[in-house]
């Protein structure tokens, strides 16, 4: 902040001269045993806290993953696509973001965990390229539906659909995925991301908000099913 020599650090202000945060944690009243000025319970190696609202335990994830997740959250905030994440942060339940190096992003309702690869975009049958940020929001929609409408989520995840594998995937792909991709500049008005739950190829990216260039082709196949 100009004139005060403080820095904006996520949801907090930091005064580097004394290496201390100068603003209260947004959830200070929820954790009476922890200083209201502490960051990540004074254990930033074990925990991540991208927006100051909820301490998310991230076991066995790399620092690179934490950095890319935080960058993606900021990007989604700027694009107006952070609604599902905000809803989960406001939930009484705890949801986890975990790292995967494979080509599947997935929401696992059993342990309330989203598996996400921040380094892989997807090419669809419609030749739309979905960034890791858009793919993350896809999974956040699943998690939010499970949190707010669990019975409906479980029901739709078990009803098969020829195009989308199940009705829950159809709901997300035809709904929020289209809006997210438009706001992220990945499709234009009149275009769609895809009309099924399949992928045409993969794209390696160094920035999770990017759609990259070099396509790694893959045979068409169904993506992993939800785990209701």
pLDDT for 59-76, tens place per residue? 688 989 989 998 999 999
The H-or-E segment that residue 223 falls in is none
The reply to whether 33 and 10 lie within a common domain is yes
The reply to whether 58 and 159 lie within a common domain is yes
pLDDT given at position 104:
87
Measured distance CA(30)–CA(40) in Å, rounded: 13
Lowest mean pLDDT among 41-45, 60-64, 103-107, 193-197: 41-45
Q: pTM, whole model, 2 decimals?
A: 0.74
Q: Is residue 43 part of a domain?
A: yes
Q: Is residue 163 part of a domain?
A: yes
Q: Is residue 9 part of a domain?
A: yes
Number of neighbouring beta carbons within 10 Å of residue 86:
15
Question: Tens digit of pLDDT for each residue in 137-182?
Answer: 999 999 999 999 999 999 999 999 999 999 999 999 999 999 999 9
The reply to whether 42 and 66 lie within a common domain is no
pLDDT given at position 1:
46
Q: How many domains does the chain have?
A: 2
Helical ranges in 80-197 per DSSP H: 83-90, 132-148, 150-157, 167-174, 176-183
**pLDDT band (50, 70, 90) for residue 222:** low
The reply to whether 30 and 80 lie within a common domain is no
Cα angle at 21 between 61 and 29, to 5 degrees?
Answer: 80
Domain range enclosing 26: 1-50
From the list 168, 146, 176, the residue with the least C-alpha distance to 76 is 176
């Amino acid at each position: 902040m100009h004139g005060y020599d403080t820095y904006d650090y996520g949801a907090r202000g930091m005064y580097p001269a004394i290496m201390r945060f100068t603003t209260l944690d947004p959830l200070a009243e929820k954790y009476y045993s922890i200083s209201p000025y502490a960051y990540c319970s004074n254990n930033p190696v074990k925990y991540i806290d991208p927006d100051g609202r909820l301490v998310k335990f991230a076991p066995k994830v790399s620092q690179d993953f934490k950095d890319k997740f935080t960058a993606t959250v900021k990007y989604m905030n700027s694009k107006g696509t952070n609604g599902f994440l905000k809803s989960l942060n406001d939930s009484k339940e705890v949801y986890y973001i975990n790292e995967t190096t494979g080509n599947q992003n997935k929401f696992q309702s059993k342990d309330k965990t989203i598996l996400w690869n921040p380094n892989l975009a997807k090419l669809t049958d419609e030749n739309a390229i979905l960034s890791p940020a858009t793919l993350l929001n896809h999974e956040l929609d699943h998690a939010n539906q499970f949190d707010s409408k669990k019975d409906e989520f479980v029901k739709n995840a078990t009803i098969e659909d020829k195009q989308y594998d199940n009705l829950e995937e159809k709901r997300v792909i035809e709904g929020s995925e289209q809006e997210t991709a438009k706001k992220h500049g990945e499709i234009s008005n009149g275009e769609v991301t895809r009309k099924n739950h399949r992928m045409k190829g993969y794209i390696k990216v160094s920035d999770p908000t990017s759609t990259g260039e070099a396509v790694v082709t893959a045979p068409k196949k169904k993506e992993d099913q939800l785990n209701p």
